[in-house]
Amino acid sequence: MTTPIAVTSPVERDEESGAFIVSGFDEVAAVVRSLSWSSDPRRNSLAPAEMQQLPSTIVLFMDPPDHTRLRRLVSPAFTPRAIERLRPRIRAVVDAALSGLDDDIELMSDFAYVVPLAVIAELLDVGAEGAEMFQDLTPDLVRMLEFDSTAEDLEASIDASMDLMMWLTPIIADRKQHPGDDFISSMLEGGLTVDEVISMCVLLLAAGHETTANVIGNGTLAVLRNPDQRAHLLTDPARAVEELLRMEGPIKVAGRTAVEDVELAGVHIPAGSFALLALDRANVDPRRFDDPLRLDLSREPQGHLAFGGGPHFCLGAALARLEAIEALTGLFTRFPDLRLAERDAVWRDSTTFHALNELHLRSHA
């Protein structure tokens, strides 16, 4: 049995940067649910100046009341019930991706990124050309989500956003005239402006594609390193994915800026201060979870913060969960002898993402 982590200081100030580090489960949950904190990186005095140039209609970076309005308009397309109707389409995408695998697999490029990319391209109904465009732009788009982004990173992300906007504009104009059974048409019919639809597409690629790929990659590695857990994954995949999200969530940290003086765990945080929310540490807080560092895919879900919480709870959580369930069960069912190759997993050097660059596998014993 693993010795639980001792969380002795759930809120502490980093003297070098001046930011507050929040790592306790209850404390992080309190921040993400409170209106005393802003999600807008433009209000973070520690952020690079180039952050001001990012699209202002990205819901991830918005505060009420604008966030509330936009979220209300797009939420119907992302409810668990609406997403469940996509299961046959997602399963077909997973089956097609699995059919392209052979004995020597590099999971991230061959499967983990392929599945969410194909799902997004299909949901937006942009065909193979769109999928190719998304694949080219996503690596630069996600740079806007790194907390240690350089000016060069943000400029690349802004350029990628502009390229995507220019490519999508005529497609959106056409969908306004000829709506179809796709997310773009649904968002337009729901009352979003063209700029807001474009920003939602940027968010789907920058956040939805990346995080789902990470869940698939991290989850596969965790199960292979804990072979006794494989049966639990296949018996109750929904429960198993919740534990994988808790233990191996795709995001390490989130950020908030205090808009007023806040008292948190006895620590005074002045208005204007930036807080780094350590989601990964909060999800293994022993005050919340028994034996928190033990992976147990049969564990009764107690709630986690892998998708954040409160007003900014991940809009695509239901979609990411369903894609992870279908991808992981499909992978381990299709390849019952799946194992790690004799090459180390390569983790990405990232402040924000808990993500693999490479994971080499063998599909047969």
Could you tell me if residue 206 is inside a domain? yes
CB 175 within 8 A of CB 79: no
Domain holding 339, by residue range, is 11-362
Q: 355, 250 in Cβ contact below 8 A?
A: yes
Q: Are 57 and 334 in contact (CB under 8 A)?
A: no
134-191 pLDDT tens trace: 989 999 988 888 888 888 988 898 899 899 999 999 999 999 999 999 999 999 998 9
Residue 308's region, left for phi above 0, alpha for psi from -120 to 50, else beta, is left
Residue 365 confidence (pLDDT): 64
User: Would 272 be classed as within a structural domain?
Assistant: yes
Q: What is the CA radius of gyration of the chain?
A: 20
Two structure tokens written together for 134: 């998304």
Query: Using alpha carbons only, what angle is made at residue 330 by residues 327 and 336, rounded to the nearest 5 degrees?
Result: 130
Mean pLDDT by 10 residues, the chain (365 residues): 52 92 97 94 74 70 86 88 94 97 96 95 91 90 84 89 92 95 92 90 86 97 97 98 98 95 96 95 96 96 94 92 98 97 93 96 86
The reply to whether 3 falls in a domain is no
Burial zone of 111 (CB within 10 Å; 0-12 exposed, 13-18 middle, 19+ buried): buried
Q: Name the pairing type of β-strands 11-13 and 20-22.
A: antiparallel
- Quickly tell me which residue has 């693993």 as its tokens: 2
Would residue 266 count as lying in a domain?
yes
Q: CATH code at 333?
A: 1.10.630.10
C-alpha to C-alpha distance for 101 and 97, rounded to whole angstroms: 7
The mean of the pLDDT values for the chain is 91
String of b and e for 242-253 (b: at least 16 CB within 10 Å)? Answer: bbbbbbbbbbbb
CA dist 66 and 78 (Å) reads 19
Task: Give the number of other Cβ atoms within 10 Å of residue 66's Cβ.
Answer: 14
pLDDT of residue 171: 95
* Of residues 266, 264, 287, 292, the one with CA closest to residue 276: 264
What does the chain come to in residues?
Answer: 365
Residue 1 lies in a domain: no
Q: Look at the alpha carbons of 273, 312, 208, 324 in this order and tell me if their dihedral is positive or negative.
A: positive
Domain count for the chain, please give it: 1
Confidence at residue 52, expressed as pLDDT on a 0 to 100 scale: 65
Determine, yes or no, domain membership for 5: no
| CA atoms of 250 and 208, how far apart (whole Å) | 11
Is 43 contained in some domain? yes
Strands 274-278 vs 20-22: parallel, antiparallel or unpaired: parallel
DSSP letter, residue 207: I
Of the candidates 285, 283, 253, the one whose C-alpha atom is nearest the C-alpha of residue 354 is 253
Report the pLDDT value the prediction gives residue 70, as an integer from 0 to 100. 87
